[in-house]
Amino acid sequence: MNELDSLKFSNRFAELPEDLFHKQNWTPFDKPKLIHFNADLAKQLGFPKNLNPEDLVPYVNGNKSFKNSSPLAMAYAGHQFGSWVPQLGDGRGILLGQLQTKDGLMDLHIKGAGKTPYSRFGDGRAVLRSTIREYLCGEAMHYLNIPSSRSLIMIGSDEPVFRETTEFGAMMVRVAKTHVRFGHFEYFSHNNKAEFIPILLDHVIENYFPMLKDSQDSYTDLFEMIVNSTAKLIAKWQAFGFAHGVMNTDNMSILGETFDFGPFGFLDEYDPGFICNHSDHGGRYAFNNQPSIGLWICHALAAALKDHIEIEETKSIINGYEQVFYDELTALFRKKLGLEKNDADDLKLVEELLSWMQKNKMDYTYFSPEEYCPVLGLQHKEEGEREKGIAILRDLVENESNKDAMYVLGLLYNDASSINLCSIDDFCLGQNFSNYKEAKKIFTQLYQNYNDPRAAYALAEYYDCLLYTSPSPRD
């Protein structure tokens, strides 16, 4: 028996009414080639220990099928840059199915799968450049403890794909807890299909929030959990300097995971108005707008669910978003600064620090690592040392001449950032595509370094200079 046949696939979404999706296979490449296999993630998903990644390629490419999988393209809609778009959906993706793991149900989704009924004017393909970027960002987010989708495997091809320039087509298997988005509920609410909303709500509760099945008001309780997880996710983005770039309602997971990576970016110097998406001319999704956009999309979800959730309680939940966000953000900054005890002035301290960092164009990432915060005396347990450390920090905030001291926190990160990625731009642009051995070597080296959390910080810091090729709005 093929060892891959032992995987216990299902597709619970395929059991729902067909108004929610379109069942189909995907379009294979003529000559698929393995780019990279994430052995660590494969282990977590329960793939055979001695699996040869080459054996997985025909399954990813669509030449073979997993037993009990039921591939489909999901239907949804959403607000894109604040404007309502009534029909979106998986325009280049196929939900392959789910695997039950020790961490719960996990979706496997093919990205770059070719055309679906929701492709509109697109070609349904992904390019190698954006696929590599998504893989790297998903891994960095994971090891920074930011909830995120990850990539199991990437395959490439010689198939030309036309963006700003001619690139090469690629597919990857994206792994996430769910691909149900805020936009799913909007699709039904605004397209006269409201009868499907409770069906999808029940599906979400059954598969992801079974503790709510006995609740007296499970839908409102579910809404609260979605709002809170969204607030906490965005607090993590802000703490680590991550800019998503396209926080449309169709790009936001109802389980508070980061996914749908497009023209994302990480802060270098602290610039709260940083815009990573060159098509975001108005700055709607600028870094400092992300928390308020998170609240906006929660309002959009509440509007879609208005006939199924208790209105007064919903208002209270929405009003609590800001407190959940700031509680999480403050807790993360306490770790960054080595503050061991909660203090009512901690958030004010953070605000003063950020103002100083913006004024002096300080590096945001190099100020992150908590293990070096004892330099400022903030992590000492002796009586009075915490207060002394805060005084030192306030002096740094107020005295520009001390700004160089802030870089002490990042000095030991220089070695971690020297990962050999000299050839990565060639692979992203397809200029050296045949050199797969070198590509594998680079990814292996990256993966080994991820086990050191310092490398994850350093990688976040150096994304722009190592991986930057201006992403297409369609990627």
H or E stretch including 176?
strand 166-176
More confident residue, 1 or 48: 48
> What pLDDT was estimated at residue 101?
92
More confident residue, 67 or 93: 93
Report pTM: 0.81
Tell me how far CA of residue 442 lies from CA of 256, 397, 421, 437, 448, in angstroms.
Answer: 31, 40, 6, 9, 10
Among this protein's residues, is 250 annotated catalytic?
Answer: yes
pLDDT-wise least confident of 198-202, 348-352, 462-466:
462-466
In the predicted structure, residue 290 carries a pLDDT above the cut 50 = yes
> What pLDDT was estimated at residue 422?
31
Tell me how far CA of residue 271 lies from CA of 137, 251, 365, 449, 460, in angstroms.
Answer: 20, 24, 12, 28, 15
Pairwise CA distance, residues 184 & 199, whole Å: 12
The answer to whether 74 and 184 have CB atoms below 8 angstroms apart is yes
In the predicted structure, residue 446 carries a pLDDT above the cut 60 = no
> What pLDDT was estimated at residue 374?
38
- Tell me the HSE value of 236 on the side-chain side, using a 13 A CA sphere: 17
Mean pLDDT of 409-438: 34
> What pLDDT was estimated at residue 4?
78
Give the three-state DSSP class for 265: strand
> What pLDDT was estimated at residue 392?
52
* Phi, psi values for residue 333, rounded to 5°: -70, -30
pLDDT-wise least confident of 72-76, 87-91, 354-358, 471-475:
471-475
Any bridge partners for residue 173, and if so which? 110
Mean pLDDT of 446-452: 44
Pairwise CA distance, residues 229 & 233, whole Å: 6
Pairwise CA distance, residues 431 & 435, whole Å: 10
Under the banding of pLDDT at 50, 70 and 90, the label for residue 337 is confident
More confident residue, 462 or 360: 360
**Percentage of residues in the chain with pLDDT exceeding 70?**
76
> What pLDDT was estimated at residue 388?
52
> What pLDDT was estimated at residue 387?
54
Pairwise CA distance, residues 368 & 454, whole Å: 10
Mean pLDDT of 121-132: 88
> What pLDDT was estimated at residue 329?
94
In the predicted structure, residue 251 carries a pLDDT above the cut 80 = yes
> What pLDDT was estimated at residue 135?
86
> What pLDDT was estimated at residue 439?
40
More confident residue, 304 or 372: 304
Strand residue runs (E) in 287-413: none
Q: Which of 257-271, 284-298, 397-411 has the highest mean pLDDT?
A: 284-298
Classify burial at 422, counting beta carbons within 10 Å of its beta carbon; exposed 0-12, middle 13-18, buried 19 or more: exposed
The answer to whether 420 and 445 have CB atoms below 8 angstroms apart is yes
Q: Give the pLDDT confidence of 368-378 residue by residue, as tens digits.
A: 434 334 334 34
In the predicted structure, residue 106 carries a pLDDT above the cut 70 = yes
Q: Give the pLDDT confidence of 153-188 residue by residue, as tens digits.
A: 999 999 999 988 888 899 999 999 999 999 999 999
Give the three-state DSSP class for 367: helix
Mean pLDDT of 339-356: 80
Fill in the DSSP letter of residue 165.
S
pLDDT-wise least confident of 266-275, 322-331, 368-377, 407-416:
407-416
> What pLDDT was estimated at residue 356?
78
Pairwise CA distance, residues 428 & 413, whole Å: 26
In the predicted structure, residue 410 carries a pLDDT above the cut 90 = no
Q: Which of 90, 250, 260, 280 is catalytic?
A: 250
Contacts of 164-167 spanning 24+ positions with Cβ under 8 A: 164/470, 164/472, 165/429, 166/430, 167/127, 167/128, 167/129, 167/429, 167/430
More confident residue, 137 or 427: 137
Under the banding of pLDDT at 50, 70 and 90, the label for residue 406 is very low
Fill in the DSSP letter of residue 142.
H
Other CB atoms within 10 A of residue 28 CB: 18
Mean pLDDT of 395-402: 43
Any bridge partners for residue 148, and if so which? 258
Q: Is 17 left (phi over 0), alpha (psi -120 to 50) or beta?
A: beta
In the predicted structure, residue 436 carries a pLDDT above the cut 60 = no
Q: Give the pLDDT confidence of 20-50 residue by residue, as tens digits.
A: 999 999 999 999 999 889 888 999 999 988 8
Indicate the average pLDDT of the chain: 80
> What pLDDT was estimated at residue 98?
95
How many residues in the chain?
475
- Give the dihedral sign, CA 222/318/277/462: negative
pLDDT-wise least confident of 37-51, 194-208, 414-428:
414-428
Mean pLDDT of 344-357: 81
- Tell me the HSE value of 241 on the side-chain side, using a 13 A CA sphere: 30
Pairwise CA distance, residues 412 & 390, whole Å: 23
Pairwise CA distance, residues 69 & 27, whole Å: 16
Pairwise CA distance, residues 105 & 98, whole Å: 6
Mean pLDDT of 336-358: 79
Under the banding of pLDDT at 50, 70 and 90, the label for residue 431 is very low
pLDDT-wise least confident of 123-132, 237-246, 291-300:
123-132
> What pLDDT was estimated at residue 335?
79
In the predicted structure, residue 413 carries a pLDDT above the cut 80 = no
Mean pLDDT of 78-82: 95
> What pLDDT was estimated at residue 424?
37
